[in-house]
Amino acid sequence: MKKLKWLISLLLTCVVILGFAPTASAFCGFYVAKADTKLYNKASQVVIARDDNKTVLTMANDFQGEVKDFAIVVPVPTVLQKEQVRVAKPSIIERLDAFSAPRLVEYFDSNPCVDYDDVRRPMPMAAPTAGILQEAERARDRNLGVTVEARFNVGEYDILILSAKESGGLETWLNRNGYKIPRGAKALLKPYIRQNMKFFVAKVNLDKFETSGYQNLRPLQIAYESPKFMLPIRLGMINATTEQDLIAYILSPKGQAEVTNYRTVKVPSGNNIPIYVKQEFGDFYKSMFQTSYLKEDRKVAFLEYAWDMGSCDPCSAEPLNNEELKEAGVFWLDKNPSDVAPFPPSGFRRPPIVSSNVFITRLHVRYTRDKFPEDLMFQTTANTENFQGRYVLQHPFTGEAKCSAAREYKRGLNRRYEQEAQTLAKLTNWNIQDIRRKMKLNGQAALSWWQRG
């Protein structure tokens, strides 16, 4: 029999720039591109809606292989019943990704000869088979210390909730029932059993999947109540041969979420970079993230986005409306449908505020077994400070300008370009000479109007 491939999912898986490196409470840039999860070959995504001790967890399946070989085993703090499990829409995770992704923005220098008030004017934007186990099987399971606490079907999935007394018995039970456990699972299962956690086990019901019309596996969503606010990533390391990326979207009515047992560090943000990076933003962000990851000794959680869901600036995607947030697991919203604001007409600068009472935190963790020996432990805070991974292209003014301020502006452009080159080299560890060459080839340092001036 062909060996099953086993994927273990992750649980608890407006001012224009005037100087070179400005800071502002409102950005109002012209959005260009975003660094979403499509940049990574192996990126698990989880959505965690959390308030008090109540949690709704949505797990995106990044399984690659035949559907019949898919299975997940997820530690959970309590025994789940059928009404606590459902299938979610993949589009919800895609929406959260697009809304919170690090972004590239453009600014255009105004005529240096105009009044300051004019300069400030913002630019316009263009499983096992269902049924009763035989008594002999029950006895065998009891000897292994494994109990099937619940069994049910949800959508195209067959679900089991297991409890176990020791990791060896659980490993044996899973192997006997068609779950081929990778080497090393026994040691990683033991801490969860010691904490009296249960195990959410899901396999695809092929008959239901083939008749459903779906081409890909949909995310699973579970709801439970527990003081534990965690993501046990150790199980997700069993099959890992390389570094793994995890993107966690944490939704809270309070404020930012952070990791408590590892440092939470903001990604570099607000940096001016050369204009040619517009064509290479994906490569830039991957290199920048890897450089920051190595600088932090590979053992931090990076904050990529933190914002109230009611707004965005600049917007890489429209905020989720209340109905979409409910689909993402947010359970504390008002049920009045009039709370959902309509989307703006095409070309409008900003989406309307949605009365969502939801704060989103996007955390990006790149992990290996040696650098992340502990599961991720979270907490929500009252910090509602906005933050985004944001990178700036600042275009020079190229029109007619004849005044003393224009002459000073022209003299400062070369210094600005060199600073942008050095910033890019520092962020990405790219060769500074290659950066300078690309800047010249792309015309950033060869604008005829200021050379004549």
- Asked whether residue 181 is assigned to any structural domain, the reply reads no
- Paired with 85 in beta bridges are 222
User: 427 near 271, Cβ under 8 Å?
Assistant: yes
Residue 139 is predicted with a pLDDT of 64
The two structure tokens encoding residue 211? 């008749």
CA distances 265 to 8, 157, 230, 364, Å, are 27, 37, 18, 10
- Asked whether residue 179 is assigned to any structural domain, the reply reads no
Dump pLDDT digits (tens) for 236-277.
666 556 788 999 999 999 999 999 999 999 999 999 999 999
- Asked whether residue 149 is assigned to any structural domain, the reply reads no
Q: Which residues contact 277 (CB under 8 A, 6 or more apart)?
A: 104, 284, 391, 393, 424
- Asked whether residue 362 is assigned to any structural domain, the reply reads yes
Q: What is the pTM of this model?
A: 0.82
Residues 288 and 88: their CA atoms lie apart, in Å, by 33
Residue 236 is predicted with a pLDDT of 65
Structural domain for 258, as ranges: 30-68+89-126+221-395
Residues 149 and 160: their CA atoms lie apart, in Å, by 8
Count of structural domains within the chain: 1
Dump pLDDT digits (tens) for 411-436.
889 999 999 999 999 999 999 999 99
Residue 187 is predicted with a pLDDT of 80
Q: Which residues contact 342 (CB under 8 A, 6 or more apart)?
A: 352
How many other C-beta atoms are found inside a 10 Å radius of the C-beta of residue 334? 12
- Asked whether residue 386 is assigned to any structural domain, the reply reads yes
- Asked whether residue 80 is assigned to any structural domain, the reply reads no
- Asked whether residue 114 is assigned to any structural domain, the reply reads yes
Whether 401 has a pLDDT exceeding 90, the answer reads: no
Residue 21 is predicted with a pLDDT of 31
Report the range out of 180-184, 356-360, 394-398, 425-429 with the highest average pLDDT: 425-429
- Asked whether residue 307 is assigned to any structural domain, the reply reads yes
